[in-house]
Structure 1
């Protein structure tokens, strides 16, 4: 939900090219193995991953950049006053998605290769995956 203090909002969903094979694999597992402990554990792991990492919400408010994966249990808030600079960057495909440590610092990414790299006043860097780097940069400036 967007409130009056939100200047930017982006909601990225878990890519269907990943979701469809995972659901198909779970269905195949149940069809071949039946309902047993192993198939229930695997299906539960898939559901937990989807619950925790099913999307990435990016919000810029008047004081902070707020990120949340899935339903919001995994989240991060960056005070805007701690950001020295921000620039649009392109991630390497092998950086993957989710929460990753890259050669450029930590990265939170849901899909695609576009990101905004933040440089904190401490010199540390952090990347936010986005399908709208120009919009995110505009909101951060």
Structure 2
């Protein structure tokens, strides 16, 4: 493994804890309710599934997944055309979703790596270690050949 980092989703955990505390307060004030217990259990499951984001880079593959290893991707290094550092806006949010920038995976913060595959598919993977992840990926992904178009001069006179 060339790179491995587990980022904890403090923002997700704080948000879910706040909602869960409100649910528990409602249970205390209003009394026992099966739907409220089910909602509270759902919050705990979501917190477990999305409490962290683990990113791994090997010589042949880039992978990332949430919590215990769910809702992630595995991409062969050979399929990656470009990687760039980006800063997500608050519109990109937390968790996993599709946006105008492609699929976004993140648990906390705004720093991310934009990944574009040779087939045009785009991803953004949030990282609190953006510089080291980018450096690792750039050692594995060959730089695109820069083709400079040369202007051909014509000797034809009108």
TM-score normalized by structure 1?
0.88
Structure 1 position 86, deviation (Å): 0.3
1:53 corresponding residue in structure 2: 50
Structure 1 residue corresponding to 2:73, chosen from 69, 76, 79: 76
Against the structure 1 CA distance between its residues 91 and 71, is the aligned structure 2 distance closer, same or farther, given a 3 Å change threshold? same
Q: Which has the larger Rg?
A: 2
Contact 1:85–1:119 under 8 Å retained in 2:
yes
Question: Could you list the per-position Cα deviations for residues 6-39 of structure 1 after superposition, in whole angstroms to 9, with x for gaps in the alignment?
Answer: 1111111122432431332232132123332022
1:122 corresponding residue in structure 2: 119
Number of equivalences: 136
Distance in 1 of aligned mates of 2:8 and 2:122: 24
> What's the C-alpha RMSD, in Å, of the aligned pairs?
1.5
Contact 1:10–1:58 under 8 Å retained in 2:
yes
Gaps of 5+ in 1: 1-5
TM-score normalized by structure 2?
0.79
User: Is the deviation greater in 34-43 or in 125-134?
Assistant: 34-43
2:7 corresponding residue in structure 1: 12
Distance in 1 of aligned mates of 2:133 and 2:21: 35
Secondary structure of the structure 1 residue equivalent to 2:32: coil
Structure 1 position 71, deviation (Å): 1.0
Aligned runs of 1:73-112 on 2, under 5 Å? 73-112=70-109
Structure 1 position 94, deviation (Å): 1.4
User: Is the deviation greater in 16-25 or in 62-71?
Assistant: 16-25
Distance in 2 of aligned mates of 1:123 and 1:136: 21
1:26 corresponding residue in structure 2: 23
2:152 corresponding residue in structure 1: none
Distance in 1 of aligned mates of 2:78 and 2:50: 28
